[in-house]
Structure 1
Amino acid sequence: MYYLMDLPKIRSVVSDPSQPDGDRLVLLRVSDKADIPQEAQQFLEKEAKAVVDYKIDLDYDYWTAVLEDCLHVFLPEELREGAPVGFAMTGHIAHVNLNAEYLPYKHIIGQLILDKNKRVKTVVNKLDSIDTKFRFFKMELIAGEPNYVVEHHEADCRFTFDFTEVYWNSRLHTEHERLVQMFKPEEVVADVFAGVGPFAVPAAKKGCAVLGNDLNPNSAKYLAKNVKDNRVTDLVRVSCEDGRDFIRTCVSRVYDDPFPAYTGPKPSRMQEEKERKRLQKLAAEGHPIPPPNAAESTGPRRQRISHFVMNLPDSALTFLDAFRGILVDNERDLSGIYKEMPMVHCHCFTRELDPAKAEQDIRQVRIFVPQTAY
């Protein structure tokens, strides 16, 4: 068995091409009879009719592992060792970050990814330039169709957006999940830089009331669509304004226009469909249709913010000054309704791996926010 052919998608026992209905061939892992070890030759002389040549063509369609197999064939030898090691998927789009030395081969790399991955319809290379105002990556098409509106699934939610107009990072799904798990269903979450909703939509599906804001009009547009598509329109209020203005006014907004009380988990699509069919059956049989059950409240109306999410690592720290005095407006002091101050989840960048050094590095921004600001 040690000497048998062992290649993916290639059978070890095949029909003899010269005698399709005759003997079967057992393929050995050698290219010449002289390469067969002595003990194996003795066995074959005793048990087999003959040793014959059998040709296998491993063409382009055979190879499926792009980077390990095909890519190294196309690249110069000096570039093979540091070749790109993978790509990220967002909907039907594969995106890569190619270093300068690989840019002359970008279309070959893109075509390989396209050919070897059935889910991929479009391949883009992220450029170094970033939109200075809305902080999303600019990119270039290197293979496939120029279709950048994707449907991406994460956390049992469906997100639609134009990948060239908004920020999305598929590798952050664990961070999205980590933060949403911290929220209680009855809480109110203010998402300052909400994007297309990776925090806001899953939080709302959990039961949270959400203020979702983003300065990018395209992000706000797709956030509103995703809120509707995921059936949480009653729990998410979308706005498109500067982050500081949003922070300074959202406490008053929720106080003046509270969210309804938490009424428990929403039924799934399957449960809704089952109930719809039940009512149809009642109607067909001539029975009266019962009025829909009003959702039972499990608490008071929600008018206090429990969490602020600030997922804009490049500059979120510079917005912390906007929290000064947000519990006091021109006419009233709202601090009395807050038994606990809201938690501010402020994302930022640091190159330090040690937690103590990372904290010291982050504090170099030297932004002071007094306790009353929270």
Structure 2
Amino acid sequence: MPLIIGFRSFKIHALNTAPRLLRHYSGPLFSDARCSIMHRKVSIDTSPPAARWMKDTLVRSAFHRTVPVIAARLPAAKTGPVLKSEAMRGAIINLPKIRSVVADVEYPDGDDKLVLLRVQHEADLSADARSYLITQNASLTTYNIELGYDYWTADEILHAILPEELLDGSPTGFSSTGHLAHMNLNDEYLPYKHIIGQVILDKNKRLRTVVNKLDSIDSQFRFFKMELLAGEPNYIVEHSESDCRFTFDFSRVYWNSRLQTEHARLADMFQPQELIADVFAGVGPFALPAAKKGCAVLANDLNPESYKYLTLNIKDNKVSDRVRASCEDGREFIRHAAIRVAADPLPGFTGPPLSQSQRRAQSRGQSRELMPPSQLPPRKRIAHFVMNLPDSAITFLDAFRGILAPSSSPSESDIDLGALYDVMPMVHCHCFTREMDREAAERDIRHRVEQELGCVLSSENEVSVHLVRSVAPNKEMYCISFRLPRATALGEVAHYE
């Protein structure tokens, strides 16, 4: 699409997804007085040279281009007015990362500077620009712009390397967690995977490690297996999210950076005085933000590596008094969470955590007026269950059958869970569906949930279905939230068809 600047039209040509791959500018320009009026197409090619012979090893020195342009030699004091002149509008070079005013290397001891112009031949200057430069006593010369590997973007470099039939899709997309970038390369790009990884590493200075997720998933703990493409084999990352700091081994636990919005959405639902049970807590992306706002949390994960880093993150984020971690099967956790916390409650809400300045004041002995309000009674009733294991969380819902039924254990027989739970907990269950129509997706999810619960969800269960994100073609991730049916919790449900 033409980009209109003043009265001249400059057409920008691009190749596929590389927005700066070819910087060509063309438009109506005027000849000087000795020639008839004519239109001359001007092209400044600053694309990287093609290097389609590269496959296994990145050769950075192969990317070099010399671009000669016309420059106006002027006293340094005149360069500012020239850049602002209406007559020079559209005539000054505007390439990314290239200064429009540079030192005059031919006369380093002089007071002159060079103003780089947007043409490669003097005859291509417009009549207005030519006349204005004459009034400024400027002289014209040729200046060579030297472009190297560092000048071009990752997209541009890879479009110069990959075969032309692979240029339609850009393989430069990635998600970053701490110092690590993780990619999901399609099969056709795998022969170039190490070059792709090295280019990504080069062009993103904060990164130290680039990995590619493989198709295989650990069958028990559900984390992706991966291979190193470039950089250090260092998978221990530090990541900040929702005012929390997380440390974990990216190669041994499940973490998805694309779920940050979903983590925050659920945490915003929780009230500070509530008790949350996180069934598949991972390293704490739901549990820790909830605890930071004052919630008490039962955080569980079956993966010993997740549990290890969960306990570390609880300590590092200073919420040990509000989070109780466990490492057991999710189904067992659901079955026993209500009775356990009733028998051994978590501390009551004491107000939001003190700020850093308040903590400093407290350490200086000025804490009397900064102490939180009186502590509320211990928390013994779960308000929310979070089930973030979308591949199979729905199949765990049958574990809720009978969780509030009278216990057969002598030590727990005097606890009347039915009476304690005058308000039933909300359940937030993540899942996948291949139904692309929204109504069909909701019907599919509700049907599967009701089968596991053993009863139909009604309006009193406050059901809502939230689209989290599209995962793949014909596969979407949802979160269904509902208030647990009392009949299910008391074990009074029949078989559901």
**TM-score of the superposition, structure 1-length normalised?**
0.92
Residue 443 of structure 2: aligned partner:
360
Q: Deviations over 1:316-371 (max 9, x none)?
A: 00000000000022235411111210000000012334432111222453434342
Task: Identify the residue that residue 322 of structure 1 maps to in structure 2.
Answer: 399
Matched letter for residue 369 of structure 1 = G
Letter in 2 for 1:119: R
Give the match for residue 420 of structure 2: 337
1:197-231 alpha-carbon deviations (Å, 9 max, x no partner): 00011111111110000000000110000000000
SS of residue in 1 equivalent to 2:213: strand
**Which of 4, 12, 23 in structure 1 is aligned with 2:100?**
12
Residue 307 of structure 1 corresponds to 384
State which of 178, 182, 206 in structure 1 corresponds to 2:293. Answer: 206
CA contact (8 A) 1:316 1:346 kept: yes
Match of 2:330 among 226, 240, 243: 243
- State the identity %: 61
Q: How many Å separate the matches in 1 of 2:228 and 2:283?
A: 22
Query: SS of 1:128's equivalent?
Result: strand
Which one of 93, 109, 116 corresponds to residue 27 of structure 1?
116
The one-letter code matched in structure 2 to 1:245 is E
- Among 104, 107, 123, the alignment partner of 2:194 is 107
| RMSD, aligned α-carbons | 2.0
Residue 369 of structure 1: aligned partner: 454
Q: Is the aligned partner of 1:52 residue 2:135? A: no
Deviates more, 1:325-334 or 1:159-168: 325-334
SS in 1 for 2:190: helix
Post-superposition offset of 1:74: 1.5
Which structure 2 residues correspond to residues 122-137 of structure 1 after superposition, within 5 A? 122-137=209-224
The letter for the 2-side match of 1:342 is: P
Q: C-alpha distance in 2, partners of 1:46/1:295? A: 74
Matched with 2:42 is: none
Deviations 1:246-285 (A, max 9, x none): 0000000110001111110111233212332x23xx9xxx
Query: Matched residue of 1:54: which SS?
Result: strand
Q: Distance in 2 between matches of 1:270 and 1:118?
A: 33
SS at match of 1:361: helix
Query: What residue identity is the alignment partner of 1:306?
Result: A
Deviation track 1:117-143 (CA, whole Å, cap 9, x = no partner) reads 111010001111111110111110000
Aligned with residue 125 of structure 2, among 24, 36, 60 = 36
1:62 paired with 2:147, answer no
1:150 and 2:263 matched: no
In structure 2, C-alpha distance between the alignment counterparts of 1:347 and 1:267, rounded to whole Å: 33
Aligned to 1:76: 163
Query: Does structure 2 conserve the Cα–Cα contact (< 8 Å) formed by 1:15 and 1:23?
Result: yes
Normalising by structure 2, report the TM-score: 0.70
Which residue is equivalent to 2:86?
none
Of 89-98 and 29-38, the range deviating more from structure 2: 29-38
Task: After superposing the two structures, state which structure 1 stretch, 239-248 or 38-47, moved more.
Answer: 38-47
Render the CA deviation track for 1:298-329: whole Å, top value 9, x for unaligned.
43211000000000000000000000000022
Structure 2: 5+ residue stretches without partners: 1-88, 456-484, 490-497
Q: 1:209 to 1:369 in 2, by over 3 A?
A: farther
Pair member with larger Rg: 2
Structure 1 unaligned spans of 5+: 283-289
Corresponding position of 1:258: 345
Amino acid paired to 2:404: L
State the AA in 2 paired with 1:128.
Answer: D
Residue 305 of structure 1 aligns to a residue in which SS? coil
Counterpart CA distance in 2 for 1:272 and 1:291 is 12
306 and 369 in structure 1: CA distance in 2 versus 1, 3 angstrom threshold:
farther
Q: Flag the 1:324–1:120 CA change in 2: closer, same or farther, 3 A.
A: same
Q: Is the 8 A contact 1:190 1:308 kept in 2?
A: yes
Tell me whether 226-235 or 72-81 shows the greater mean CA deviation: 72-81
- In 1, the alpha carbon distance for the partners of 2:114 and 2:420 equals 82
2:426 and 2:438 map into 1 onto residues whose CA distance is 20
Say whether residues 1:95 and 2:182 are aligned partners: yes
Residue identity matched to 2:117: L
How far apart are the structure 1 equivalents of 2:231 and 2:348?
Answer: 48
Q: Which residue type is aligned with residue 146 of structure 2?
A: D
In the aligned structure 2, how far is the partner of 1:47 from the partner of 1:126? Answer: 60
- Whether contact under 8 Å (1:254, 1:304) holds in the other structure is yes
Farther-moved stretch of structure 1 (33-42 vs 81-90): 33-42
The question of whether the paired residues in 2 share the 8 Å contact of 1:161 and 1:196 is answered with yes
SS of 1:184's equivalent in the other structure is coil
Secondary structure at the aligned position of 1:109 is classed as: helix
More strand by share: 2
Moved more, 193-202 or 1-10: 1-10
**1:118 equivalenced with 2:233 (yes/no):** no
Q: Amino acid of the residue matched to residue 111 of structure 2?
A: G
Identify, as 1 or 2, the structure richer in helix. 1
Aligned mates of 2:126, 2:183 — CA distance in 1: 46
Structure 1 residue 41, shift from structure 2 partner = 3.4
Q: 1:349 corresponds to which letter in structure 2?
A: F
